[in-house]
Amino acid sequence: MKKIFLFLFLIFTIGVSLIIGAEEIEIRRLQETKEVLSEKLPLVLLVSEQETYELHLYDNEAARELLAQLPQKLVMNRRGDGVYYAPLSKKIEVSKATTRRAFKRGEVALLIKGNVLCLLFGPTPFSLTTDIPLLPSAGVALGRIKSFSGLDQLPSVAEFEIKVKR
């Protein structure tokens, strides 16, 4: 019995070490990321019942594809303390995009698996050892919300209209 307990403890310790190591790698990748806000793409508005947020898009193909899908209404769910998410109606092609799991607070990303739009404003359930927003799998950065204070005050399920600012 003692050997089984020691073996299970060893497996658990190795698993935790691997998870922490993977998080550290993603955080280093985030620090090396140099996303550029587009000066050519229009401003996008994220409009909820309570607040309107301005989204400045990055200069990448995935952001341009998101723009082509607008306007769109999404019922977004909050998970943990720092992410709203909802699947988009049309798939965004990301085969040539740079992917990562860690994002800065205020970034908007596409979670590739499930074609899910994510508004990242704090730690997610996948941020095990850090307060940096982490996705469960690869994502593509689409842009940054100019001021994201107040997102944490919205209800756990919030409807957003996402549209181009005219």
Q: What is the mean pLDDT of the chain?
A: 86
Residue pair 107/62 in contact (Cβ under 8 Å)? The answer is no
Domains and CATH numbers, the chain: 2-164 (2.40.100.20)
Q: Compute and round to an integer the Cα radius of gyration of the chain.
A: 18
Query: What is the reported pTM?
Result: 0.81
Report how far residue 89's alpha carbon sits from residue 60's, in angstroms, rounded to the nearest whole number.
20
On the question of pLDDT at 18 being above 70, the answer is: no
Handedness of CA 155, 74, 135, 8 (dihedral sign): positive
Length of the chain: 166
Q: Give the residue from 143, 152, 154 showing the smallest Cα distance to 55.
A: 143
Cα 137 to the chain's mean position, in Å?
10
Residue that wins the pLDDT comparison between 61 and 26? 61
